[in-house]
């Protein structure tokens, strides 16, 4: 992974009353598929911490891929104790990252610029508003079962509150991958647009202009707080 796979840029925006606000744009680009390696997970989590002073976070991928999920070279248990420990640690830290996004105190808008598979799709589920490209052949979905991995309990918790009831089993256990229009009906995306990044930025500005930040944060805690605590419990149990 390149040195600057996670980049933070602060964009200023004056709200409808003329007050100066800010949008923290976090761009993921490791030059490949933005695999969730130990380094990328750590860097993204740290950058999210740094971005909390902004009013909205905008998260984007590169031109081809938002994220292809966990680095399979690490996440699959190896033959040695060291490899097994590395896999367990990455899963633990990755789930913490997902929960950080899920419970983030500020609105998180995602510009899904390309494929979002497994962990990439989970980050979409954890965010507040997701914009993807229209009329494209990119794939979005949870392929864990297709590659021999069981659906982890924490993911079921997130899916229960973020995916459409009638599509949840199909998305989780049949490992179906969706195009962007289908992904809207399932619950991975909210909007499709010709220019994903510009539309996501406009949505971030709209959030600043129309939502009370204190009410948003408190309401998000009420809506997601119990699930977030359950995810923490499951992650701790997994690592004991």
Q: Please, which residues bridge with residue 133 across strands? A: 193
> Regarding the domain delimited by 6-238, which CATH topology (the fold level of the hierarchy) does it fall under?
2-enoyl-CoA Hydratase; Chain A, domain 1 (3.90.226)
CA distances for 216 relative to 8, 107, 207, 222, angstroms: 23, 8, 10, 10
How far is it, in rounded angstroms, from Cα 133 to Cα 61? 12
Tell which residue, 169, 167, 198, has the closest CA to residue 182.
Answer: 167
How far is it, in rounded angstroms, from Cα 235 to Cα 95? 7
Predicted pLDDT of residue 240: 67
Predicted pLDDT of residue 102: 98
Kindly list the domain boundaries of the chain, sorted by start residue: 6-238
CB 44 within 8 A of CB 51: no
Predicted pLDDT of residue 75: 83
With a threshold of 0.85, does the pTM exceed it?
yes
CA angle 182, 199, 223 (to 5 degrees): 65
Sheet holding 108-111, edge to edge: 6-14, 20-28, 56-60, 108-111, 129-133, 191-193
* SS3 state of residue 92: helix
Predicted pLDDT of residue 3: 60
* SS3 state of residue 58: strand
Structural tokens at position 180: 């962007």
* Cα separation of the two ends of the chain: 30
* pLDDT per residue as tens digits for the range 145-186: 999 999 999 999 999 999 999 999 999 999 999 999 999 999
How far is it, in rounded angstroms, from Cα 73 to Cα 94? 15
CA Rg, the chain, in Å?
A: 17
Predicted pLDDT of residue 222: 98
CB 157 within 8 A of CB 99: no
Predicted pLDDT of residue 26: 98
CA angle 65, 68, 74 (to 5 degrees): 140
How far is it, in rounded angstroms, from Cα 122 to Cα 45? 15
Predicted pLDDT of residue 158: 98
How far is it, in rounded angstroms, from Cα 101 to Cα 84? 26
Name 211's Cβ contacts closer than 8 Å, sequence gap at least 6.
Answer: 107
The pLDDT averaged over each successive group of 10 residues in the chain (240 residues) is: 81 93 98 96 98 98 96 81 88 97 98 97 98 92 95 97 98 98 97 97 97 98 98 88
Structural tokens at position 135: 């009329």
């Amino acid at each position: 992974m390149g040195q600057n796979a996670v980049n933070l840029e602060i964009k200023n925006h004056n709200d409808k009353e003329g007050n100066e606000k800010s949008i923290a744009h976090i761009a993921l680009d490791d030059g490949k598929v933005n695999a969730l390696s130990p380094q990328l997970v750590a860097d993204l989590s740290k950058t999210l911490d740094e971005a909390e002073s902004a009013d909205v976070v905008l998260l984007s991928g590169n031109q081809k891929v938002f994220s292809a999920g966990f680095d399979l070279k690490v996440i699959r248990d190896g033959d040695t104790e060291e490899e097994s420990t590395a896999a367990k640690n990455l899963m633990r830290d990755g789930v913490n990252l997902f929960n950080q996004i899920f419970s983030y105190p500020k609105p998180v808008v995602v510009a899904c610029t390309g494929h979002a598979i497994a962990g990439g799709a989970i980050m979409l589920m954890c965010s507040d508003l997701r914009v993807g490209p229209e009329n494209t052949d990119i794939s979005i979905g949870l392929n864990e079962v297709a590659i021999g991995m069981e659906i982890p309990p924490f993911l079921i918790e997130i899916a229960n509150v973020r995916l459409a009831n009638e599509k949840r089993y199909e998305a989780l256990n049949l490992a179906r991958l969706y195009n962007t229009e289908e992904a809207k009906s399932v619950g991975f995306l909210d909007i499709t647009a010709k220019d994903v990044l510009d539309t996501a930025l406009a949505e971030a500005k709209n959030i600043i202009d129309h939502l009370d930040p204190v009410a948003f944060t408190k309401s998000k805690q009420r809506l997601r707080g119990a699930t977030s605590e359950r995810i923490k419990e499951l992650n701790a149990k997994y690592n004991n």
